[in-house]
Chains A and B, each alone.
Chain A
């Protein structure tokens, strides 16, 4: 092979590799990306069953219950228009408390409950995930 044609082959190989990467990434993305839901999204669009999603909103006042095993927490996430009951087994983050923001990672169950595998509540008191700030703003502005 002459250097020039080898260079062309390498360039084509690199191009093929990039295309392969994009295709692979896109197909994995379709199955694996966790979309962000608020309780009203879940109500409006139907439950996204069988895939990991994020559920965001406020922990409803007076809704936090601890199960007898001492490690399972049940609470209700609200966005002001709809609510979703959430179950989480684990150590809740330090800033997890009633009437403050939370993002739960996990899956919806057919009965409408949400089983969380992870809770996010940032250490900073001012913290609110950008996606949540937007969503809550929407639902607030939609109110009369």
Chain B
């Protein structure tokens, strides 16, 4: 019954999404009483639609938690012996469920716009909701016609087939929802842009209304990407934190576009410049989200994320993609002439810096997009190739360094116009820091790659440059958004330092040991004490006890070879010891059949944790900016209420 209820709620939500679109068109077309009524009705419709799809999602979670094996999706992806948290999160650990989660968050976003958004003029607000309804309608159709999560299985299965063991991790409860919420936040920015194109109201008011959505989406994407990167790092056991896998790029591309949008929307809000560009970026950012969804959900890629292999689904998403992106671009082309050019500015100015930032981000985005799609295009011509880390590092690395230089200088620039010589003087300390790091590394560590050497120097320089804007200010009077910028930029520098240290100083060791033997990796002596069996709720394992020691410092690590029965799979569970100056990463391999020795793969990764610490700082910076703006709005509203 729960499943049928969920399906019914989904159908109703789909119809309301259609109604939302119709009401929006009616409200904008008709200036009479009917138009007025439509305008009044569209908000409540959006809220009810959000509530209905939330009910559908709750129904799916309920059948998963209760392991209702007469539901096909549960039988194929769950198991009664699974820990509770994975039954819950397992609801979206499959194709249909993850698409339902997608539209649920989309519905919630639309409801929030209808309920809370007051800054926009009414016509643009209605057009935004209509666009949101149009997006939702397409994805409802996809769910109902090509990926029904509530399909029944007759007769019911005796036992479920279980969840992919790689997904059985706390990360599953966290990573997909944050990433999707980020994607969907960008859908709201997209709808705002469409709404503004329809009504022609592109200006500071529009930018201020859109900014919190962009900021929120960007913060969630940052968290999602950071969490996903750490998850891949400890779960896959390869010691890497970013593989330039297409599905990773699928999350990076919207982030790059959102980062560019975040900066251009500030120019629009503060200086009324970059009007058309900001609208274009909002379209691009959500297009990247949809391309990401298409890449991951269509089944054209084989990866842990690709659940679907039904080619019709791929064609369906591709159709939706073409419809929305093509439609938005056509609207852009037809309407952007109506949007007047914004205010102009000198090249050496904050605006100028932000334009360069946007261009460099767009170039990186283009490179990642080409590298991700090229193999698919080439496959269409019968050429089979893969594009991996060497390509992305060679092509995007230099641009990223240039971007970091602009990041360092940008906050020191004045709005409208500035003097180049003065800027150079303001950049004295960061330049000294970067040059000092560079010289120090050159003398101490001779054999670094150019990219890590420059990355480390630029990262240190960026950290110094990023704190400059607050050094001469009264800290208590500095607005939160400024703090947000400082923290986020410092986070970027911290992350870069971590990446450069990881690629330059990692020590790796691959050995086969008898219990009792020891080996050396970096500053550590690691001894294999013994191997013994261990059991968990739905797995059994062989576990190694490793004792690691270095001068006055020690750690015990327990990497495992884990065997799951449903489905029958072996996974390597790495064990990681975190120290202030890095992580010791250990993986247990197989037993050598001839001699009985055990394979061990060990890494000492100095300062690798800075990569994710930087990611957390970046997200925190965004959250501070968002909180600061929200607080200011709240203060203002309270003042208005007090003074009548």
Give A contacts to B, CB under 8 Å.
1-4, 6-7, 10, 13-14, 17-18, 20-22, 24-26, 28-29, 31-36, 52, 54, 66, 69-71, 89-92, 94, 105, 118, 122-124, 127, 129-131, 134-135
Contact = CB atoms under 8 A, between A and B. Distances in A.
Given A2-B344, A90-B601, A14 B512 contact: no
Given A3-B341, A18-B362, A94-B572, 6 more contacts: A3-B344, A7-B341, A13-B359, A17-B359, A29-B391, A34-B386
A123 B166 contact: yes
Contacts of A14: 277, 359, 362
B355 A13 contact: yes
A52 B371 CA distance: 16
Contacts of A36: 384-386
Interface residues of B, number: 57
Interface stretch (B52-60, B476-484, B499-507, B592-600): B592-600
A56 to B, nearest CB: 9
22 contacts: A4-B341, A17-B360, A21-B362, A21-B364, A21-B366, A21-B370, A24-B363, A28-B394, A29-B387, A33-B391, A34-B387, A35-B385, A36-B384, A54-B386, A70-B597, A71-B511, A90-B601, A91-B572, A94-B571, A124-B164, A127-B302, A131-B384
A90 to B, nearest CB: 6
A29 B385 CA distance: 10
A64 B570 CA distance: 20
B155 interface: no
A58 B601 CA distance: 26
B341 to A, nearest CB: 4
B283 to A, nearest CB: 14
Contacts of A35: 383-385
Give the one of A2, A13, A24 with max B CB within 10 A.
Answer: A24
Nearest to B601: A91
B367 A25 contact: yes
Give the one of A3, A25, A31 with max B CB within 10 A.
Answer: A25
A70 B386 contact: no
A127 B299 CA distance: 12
B519 to A, nearest CB: 11
A25 B592 contact: no
A92 B588 CA distance: 11
Interface of B: 164-166, 237-238, 274, 276-277, 300, 302, 340-345, 355, 359-360, 362-364, 366-367, 370-371, 374-375, 379, 383-388, 390-391, 394-395, 399, 510-512, 569-572, 587, 589-590, 592-595, 597, 599, 601
Contacts of B364: 21
Contacts of B388: 32, 34, 52, 105
A15 B349 CA distance: 21
Contact of B362 (A7, A17, A70): A17
Contacts of B386: 33-34, 36, 54, 131
Contact of B510 (A20, A28, A89, A123): A89
The 3 closest A-B pairs by CB, nearest first: A70-B512, A91-B589, A21-B366
A32 B395 CA distance: 10
A104 B384 CA distance: 14
Contacts of B572: 91, 94
A102 to B, nearest CB: 14
A95 to B, nearest CB: 8
B599 A91 contact: yes
Contacts of A18: 362-363, 366
Contact of B599 (A29, A33, A70, A127): A70
B387 A123 contact: no
B571 A70 contact: no
A65 B342 CA distance: 69
Nearest to A17: B359
Contacts of B385: 33-36
B569 A25 contact: no
Given A66-B593, A89-B510, A29 B371 contact: yes
Nearest to A38: B384
